[in-house]
Each structure stands twice: as C-alpha cells, then as structure tokens.
Amino acid sequence: MGKVKLEIDGKEVVAEEGMTVLEAARLVGAEIPTLCHDERLEPYGACRVCTVEIERGGKTRMVAACGFPVENGLKVRTRSPRLDRMRKTLIELAAVSAGEWEEGSKFWTLVREYGADPSRFASRVQIKPTKCIVCGLCVRTCSDVTGDGVIGFVGRGINRRVVIFPEKAQNCWTCRYCQEVCPTGKISPAGPLHSFPSIDDVLAGRV
C-alpha cells in the first residue's frame, strides 16, 4: 500500500492509501465526532456529524470524514464555526426522533459538547420519540456477529425503524454487542429482545 500525504488542520499527515479522513485524523489526534461509525464495521454515513471541510483543486466542500478516502494534497478542516454550527443542527435534528437518551451516552456527550438544544426542532414536530436515531450500528453489528441479522430495518423515510425478526430470534445469543454500540443507550441490558417491536407488530401498525 502506498503512502498519501495530506494536511489536516494545518498539520501534515502521512496516511496509508485507502484510509478514510477520519482514520487519518486520528493519527494526529484530531477529534472528529461520530455517531454511526465503528471501526469494526464498514463506513455507513447516516449521522453526518463527522462532516468536515475539504479543499482540493481550489474548491471547498463538506464531506463525511468516516467515508471519504484520503488523497494526496487534500486539505482538511475538522473544526470551524460553520462546521460547529452544522454539527449542532445535525445533533438537534437527530434529537427529534431520539427524544431522550441515557446520561453518559455518546449522544448525550455530543449534545453537551456542541451546546445543542435538543428541543429546538423536536418541539415543532408532533411525534412520539423512540430514543433511536436510526444510526444502524446495532443492525450492522448484529449482522456481523450472527452472520444473519436478528434485527433489521423496516420502513422508509421517517417510518424507518429497527425491529427484531421473530423467526430469527433464536439466533440471538444475547451477546449484547447491540447494547454496547448504541449511541443513545436505547437498548437495555436485557438485550434487544424486549425493547424492540416485532416486525409483525410494525407491519400491522400495532406499535
């Protein structure tokens, strides 16, 4: 693998080809927040709080650091007033469906760090919060661990939600990885079994 030279927050970084900006930033200790990323999984790109500013060919744009590959000559900015503002907005948007979260959870930490007002947008929408930001970490982890996801997504758009597939429930060995990766603390220590609606309930509109 070749080496790639880029600049992150003014510091020169030598990264491996194929690395993401997020990985390269970690080499030099630049903190980029994430909510839907886990280095053990493929980049997914759902939460967008890892958004950074890149400059190449004289043009700047915003990209998700967790998925953007490093390249020679790339200039990356991981923090700026504009980025902070957008991350704050993103956290506030995610808070609409999250509604509440466990103190000490990853989400909670970010709310505090960015001075987000979780009720700013949530107060404009009449929904029952689910504690879930649909980051998909539990779904992806589960399918990685069990090989055949016990939990998965149903629905599109604002109806997208995580459910447990009853016919696969016996595959759950209560490894609790889903609980461990959940950024809002939605998944209780009892494992997903009792806190997720079943797909039958969802399709029948019972939840």
Residues of the shown chain interacting with another protein in the complex, contacts defined by CB under 8 A = 43-49, 51, 61-64, 67-69, 86, 89-90, 93-94, 96-97, 121, 124-127, 133-134, 136, 155-160
Least distance from C-beta 173 to another protein, angstroms? 26
Applying CB under 6 A, the span of 33-41, 52-60, 92-100, 126-134 interacting with ligand FES comes to 33-41
Least distance from C-beta 41 to another protein, angstroms? 12
Between 15 and 133, CB nearer to another protein: 133
Residue nearest to ligand FES (CB): 66
Least distance from C-beta 64 to ligand FES, angstroms? 4
Least distance from C-beta 25 to ligand FES, angstroms? 12
In 59-143, which ranges are E strands?
Answer: 59-64, 75-77
> Applying CB under 6 A, does 37 fall inside the site for ligand FES?
yes
Question: What does 157 bind: another protein, ligand FES, none (CB cut-off 5 to 8 Å by kind)?
Answer: another protein
What the block records as the tokens of 22 is 């997020």
Between 49 and 151, CB nearer to another protein: 49
CA pseudo-torsion sign 96, 98, 103, 105: negative
Between 36 and 76, CB nearer to ligand FES: 36
Question: What does 34 bind: another protein, ligand FES, none (CB cut-off 5 to 8 Å by kind)?
Answer: ligand FES
CA angle 100, 101, 107 (to 5 degrees): 120
What the block records as the tokens of 178 is 């889903």
Q: How far is CA 117 from CA 38, 88, 96, 97, in A?
A: 26, 8, 11, 14
Binding test (CB under 6 A) with ligand FES, winner from 64, 91, 187, 202 = 64
**Positions in the binding site for ligand FES (CB under 6 A):** 34-37, 45-48, 50, 64, 66
